[in-house]
Structure 1
């Protein structure tokens, strides 16, 4: 795995392209400037304090059912024009989308994303990000917003790799995890502190459910 730990967006994107082609996932640290990362974390907390984050369901949005035994995060979807920090993040994700299309010919048409807040003790059991009746989600993207995260606090995203190995990704602010949605089972382990992220999907063109 190539790991780019520098604030060079183009270099990090190049690493992501190589990693996805070679192994189907990529982890980059310090993906965007700390000032933007901090602003996004503050935006998430502001929305949570205003009661705008709601408990996430399971399934496509119109049919989603809350299942506390499967996942315990609270979310709100991003829309363009909601805040300057969110618009900057969406612009970076669009740069990533275009670069992946150019290099890997994935046919990615758009990006959807939401804030995700896991209260202490919340988790998300092992799952895939691709719906059974809708294959538009092609690449999963998780950007973490938690400053000074310590391993003993838990909260890792655990990847179940094709060779049977497990790989834990700590939700440290500035880290970006990218993986192929249909091929990477994963789970979120409980933490002892509040856990914030932006979770999203780069999607292919869709014509409705399969």
Structure 2
């Protein structure tokens, strides 16, 4: 579904610039609130149907649930699961095409899941790129939480190359993108349920940077 608005296009242009340097970008309101609400409603429906499962750490056959590292529950997305998620996947396809067109990244696919953090849940500091698989290139996180306040916790903490940190509130419609191999990050414990859509654009071939 296209978003032919000057504001969205300007945000997209800014995102492309920021991914080159400093390698990360936070875009409040990048996704319209109504679309974000529909996604949150869909996540809760699937949660009520017990379709979300404890998140694992690691890849493929080596993946295992380790609650000392992360304690969220997740559901991987595929096309055709719901109208709301198909709409979001269409938007991320536009984003993929824009990144390829501007930065020649060779991004060819998105892997993505709902992540629900119950009260008190967290995800310890980590990198998104696996040691034995370097295809994850750009991490993409969309937040789905109405009226989130600083006292609710659950911030995304980015560990920047200069040694500083950047905390991001998981507010409705905010999109965060960063280079998967560049920024360690963690999810701080949440004081109430926290919803997001977390994904990774996968590349083909060699990185241009």
TM interval, short-chain normalised: over 0.9
CA apart distance, 1:7: 7.7
> 1:74 is matched with which residue?
73
Q: Note the alpha carbon deviations across 1:118-168, whole angstroms, 9 max, x for none.
A: 011111000000000000100000000000000011000000000000100
The unaligned stretches of length 5 or more in structure 2 are none
User: What aligned pairs does 1:104-123 form with structure 2 within 5 A after superposition?
Assistant: 104-123=103-122
Question: SS where residue 117 of structure 1 aligns?
Answer: strand
The unaligned stretches of length 5 or more in structure 1 are 1-5
Q: Note the alpha carbon deviations across 1:60-83, whole angstroms, 9 max, x for none.
A: 144310001000010000110111
> 1:3 is matched with which residue?
none
RMSD: 1.2
User: What aligned pairs does 1:145-164 form with structure 2 within 5 A after superposition?
Assistant: 145-164=144-163
| TM-score under structure 2 length normalisation | 0.94
> 2:57 is matched with which residue?
58
Which stretch shifts more, 59-68 or 171-180?
A: 59-68
Q: Determine the C-alpha separation between the residues in 2 that align with 1:62 and 1:40.
A: 30
Given the alignment of the two structures, is residue 90 of structure 1 paired with residue 104 of structure 2, yes or no?
Answer: no
CA apart distance, 1:203: 0.5
User: What aligned pairs does 1:1-210 form with structure 2 within 5 A after superposition?
Assistant: 8-205=7-204
What is the number of equivalent residue pairs in this alignment? 201
Question: SS where residue 40 of structure 2 aligns?
Answer: helix
| TM-score under structure 1 length normalisation | 0.93
Question: SS where residue 98 of structure 1 aligns?
Answer: helix
Q: Note the alpha carbon deviations across 1:66-103, whole angstroms, 9 max, x for none.
A: 00100001000011011111011001101111101111
CA apart distance, 1:205: 2.4
